[in-house]
Chain A
Amino acid sequence: MLWKDFNQGIIKENPVLRLMIGLCPTLAVSSNAVNALGMSVAVAFVLICSNWVIAAIRKITPDQIRIPIFIIIISTFVTISDYVMQAYTPELYQALGVFVPLIVVNCIILGRAEAFAYKNPVLNSILDGAGMSLGFALALISLGVVREILGAGTVFGLALFNPAVAATIMVLPPGAFIAIGVLMAALNKFENKVQ
Chain B
Amino acid sequence: MINSLKMGLILAVFCVIAASGLAYVYQFTQPRIESNARLTMENSKKEVLPASGKGRALAVTVRGYGGEIELLVGIDQQERISGLKVLSHKETPGLGANIVRPDFLGQFKGKKRTDPLEAKKDIDAISGATISSRAVCNGVKDALERFQSGNN
- A25-71 residues at the B interface, CB under 8 angstroms: 28-29, 31-32, 35, 62, 64-65, 68-69
Instruction: Decide yes or no: A84 and B29 within 8 Å by CB, A76-B22, A90-B36, A168-B128 being known contacts.
Output: yes
| Closest A residue by C-beta to B19 | A76
Q: Is A123 an interface residue (CB 8 A)?
A: no
Q: Is A152 an interface residue (CB 8 A)?
A: yes
Residues of A within 8 A of B90 (CB): 97-98
Q: Is A94 an interface residue (CB 8 A)?
A: yes
CB pair A152 B94 closer than 8 Å? yes
In the bound assembly, the distance between CA atoms of A125 and B29 in angstroms comes to 29
Q: Is A80 an interface residue (CB 8 A)?
A: yes
Digit string of B1-17 for contact with A (CB within 8 Å is 1, else 0)?
A: 00000010011001100
- A134-163 residues at the B interface, CB under 8 angstroms: 151-152
In the bound assembly, the distance between CA atoms of A29 and B93 in angstroms comes to 8
Instruction: Decide yes or no: A79 and B22 within 8 Å by CB, A65-B7, A72-B14, A168-B94 being known contacts.
Output: yes
Q: Is A171 an interface residue (CB 8 A)?
A: yes
Q: How many residues of B contact A (CB 8 A)?
A: 24
Instruction: Decide yes or no: A62 and B7 within 8 Å by CB, A171-B93, A171-B94 being known contacts.
Output: yes
Instruction: Decide yes or no: A172 and B10 within 8 Å by CB, A76-B18, A94-B88 being known contacts.
Output: no
CB pair A62 B10 closer than 8 Å? yes
CB pair B14 A69 closer than 8 Å? yes
Residues of A within 8 A of B10 (CB): 62, 65, 69
CB pair A87 B32 closer than 8 Å? yes
Q: Is B152 an interface residue (CB 8 A)?
A: no
- A81-123 residues at the B interface, CB under 8 angstroms: 83-84, 86-88, 90, 94-95, 97-98
Q: Is B114 an interface residue (CB 8 A)?
A: no
CB pair A86 B29 closer than 8 Å? yes
Given contacts A72-B11, A86-B36, A87-B30, 4 further A-B contacts (CB under 8 A): A72-B18, A83-B26, A87-B33, A97-B90
Residues of B within 8 A of A187 (CB): none
Residues of A within 8 A of B151 (CB): none
In the bound assembly, the distance between CA atoms of A72 and B40 in angstroms comes to 33
| Smallest beta-carbon distance B127→chain A, Å | 7
CB pair B93 A84 closer than 8 Å? no
Q: How many residues of A contact B (CB 8 A)?
A: 31
Q: Is A184 an interface residue (CB 8 A)?
A: no
Residues of A within 8 A of B25 (CB): 79-80, 83-84
Residues of A within 8 A of B21 (CB): 76, 80
CB pair B93 A90 closer than 8 Å? no
Digit string of A3-24 for contact with B (CB within 8 Å is 1, else 0)?
A: 0000000000000000000000
CB pair A64 B7 closer than 8 Å? yes
Q: Is A183 an interface residue (CB 8 A)?
A: no
B29 in complex: contacting residue of A64, A76, A87, A172, CB < 8 Å: A87
CB pair A172 B94 closer than 8 Å? yes
Instruction: Decide yes or no: A73 and B11 within 8 Å by CB, A152-B94, A172-B94 being known contacts.
Output: no
In the bound assembly, the distance between CA atoms of A103 and B151 in angstroms comes to 47
In the bound assembly, the distance between CA atoms of A69 and B88 in angstroms comes to 34
Residues of B within 8 A of A98 (CB): 90
Residues of B within 8 A of A90 (CB): 33, 36, 40
Residues of B within 8 A of A94 (CB): 88
